[in-house]
Amino acid sequence: MATRTYLDHAASSPVVPEAAAAMRELLGVPGNPSSLHAAGRAARRVLEDARESLAADLGAHPSEVVFTSGGTEADNLAVLGVQVADRPQIAVSAVEHPAVAAVRDRHTDVVVLPVDAGGHLDLAASALLVGPQTALVSVMWVNNETGAVQPVAEVVDLAHRAGVLAHSDAVQAFGHLAVDFAASGLDLLSTSAHKLGGPVGIGALLVRRGTRLAPVGFGGGQEARLRSGTAPVALAAGFAAASRVAAGRRVAEATRLAALRDRLVAGALATVPRTRSNTVEPCGPAIVNLTFAGVRADDVLLLLDAAGFDASTGSACTAGVHQPSEVLLAMGRSLDDASASLRFSFGPPTTTEQVDALLAVLPGIVERARAAA
């Protein structure tokens, strides 16, 4: 079988050996962590150890960690669970992940906060839109399509000056940037295991102590009465193990991946005519978004796939249907450009040789895609 190059870590990153080992040890072990017998108590100890470990890596208190099924559920709980009397409004940035952005379809009063051409929040304009009717401001830490890093400290200040709760989807930030919940001032923060080498099926919402949040589902209330369902002990242990690995190598890995990011951007701009980078500083180290004018993104994606490269046209959470990127449209890109953009995202296995191999085939692939458009 031909060797493939995986450049879609922002969608899901391979499970690291440490996480796999932690889960393997527990998969055959019985015990519901809500049960009072010995097996249940043993499962509860594993679960709480994982909670404490994750809290330490995120700069949180263990009681602030609410395990969920992933980043999407964590985001949903944050934006739908905030209920403040006389404050019916939710404010979200124009470049949120669908797990937050779709609140516009579920909530009657949502304000969209604008961004500039680099995808960064327009703080001055946003300040005018957040007011006495607003209950929550939600702005993602690192954009999942472009890698844009948002000014989280300024967002928190803007929200708190208005007496508003602040939430950030940190799914793409955790493991790549320094994420310290206590120091951030955020009231709510979402994260997910499988973006940093943990298992699919578990994430967490951090809820600052004293923050009032209502459950959006019902059941046994196992997670601080905010999230119901039997806690997946093995997945929690895998999440904690992956988090420890990511935290331990974060600084060196961020430097390495940023160099690969810059290498890909510079190489593509130099060798592929009519190419534009949508990844603008400040940006995370692991995501590159490029527009190849005059192509259909799906054509480029399929040609790359045939050449052995796995990439993406944007968020993987859109049921496999490619549409013009809402994120790029919010950044002022044309409909054509928003339909001609690809995302390449890196992780621990990504090498300089892989980036150079991509750059070697990219000009020819884009030329073929333009001819077919």
Q: Domain 17-245 classified CATH 3.30.420.40?
A: no
Instruction: Select from 10, 315, 273, 269 the least CA-distant residue to 324.
Output: 315
Rounded CA separation 270/329 (Å): 25
What is the reported pLDDT for 56? Answer: 98
Write the CB contacts of 254 (distance below 8 Å, at least 6 apart in sequence). Answer: 176, 177, 285
Q: Does the predicted TM-score (pTM) go above 0.85? A: yes
Rounded CA separation 232/103 (Å): 27
What angle is formed at CA 209 by the lines to CA 107 and CA 66, rounded to 5 degrees?
Answer: 65
Rounded CA separation 45/39 (Å): 10
From the list 280, 317, 329, 359, the catalytic residue is 317
What is the reported pLDDT for 315? Answer: 59
What is the reported pLDDT for 35? Answer: 96
Q: Can you give the residue ranges of every domain in the chain?
A: 5-12+250-372, 17-245
Rounded CA separation 141/298 (Å): 28
Answer for the pair 280, 148: CB distance below 8 angstroms, yes or no.
Answer: yes
What is the reported pLDDT for 268? Answer: 98
Q: For 229-288, how does the pLDDT look when each residue is reduced to its tens digit (9 = 90+)?
A: 999 999 999 999 999 999 999 999 999 999 999 999 999 999 999 999 999 999 999 999
Long-range contacts of 102-105 (CB under 8 A, 24+ apart): 103/79, 103/138
What is the reported pLDDT for 107? Answer: 83
Instruction: Select from 248, 163, 236 the least CA-distant residue to 203.
Output: 236
Active site residue 317: yes
What is the reported pLDDT for 373? Answer: 83
Cα–chain center distance at 321? 19
What is the reported pLDDT for 319? Answer: 44
Instruction: Select from 85, 81, 57, 86 the least CA-distant residue to 68.
Output: 81
Instruction: Select from 7, 90, 3, 35 the least CA-distant residue to 359.
Output: 7
Rounded CA separation 296/146 (Å): 18
How distant, in Å, are the alpha carbons of 109, 261, 372 from that of 309? Answer: 42, 16, 20
Q: Mean pLDDT of successive 10-residue segments in the chain (373 residues)?
A: 89 98 96 96 98 98 98 97 91 97 90 98 98 97 98 98 97 98 98 98 98 94 95 98 98 98 98 98 98 97 98 68 88 97 98 98 98 91
CATH architecture for residues 5-12+250-372: Alpha-Beta Complex (3.90)
What is the reported pLDDT for 317? Answer: 53
What is the reported pLDDT for 37? Answer: 97
Q: To 10 degrees, the CA torsion angle through 13, 14, 18, 21?
A: 130
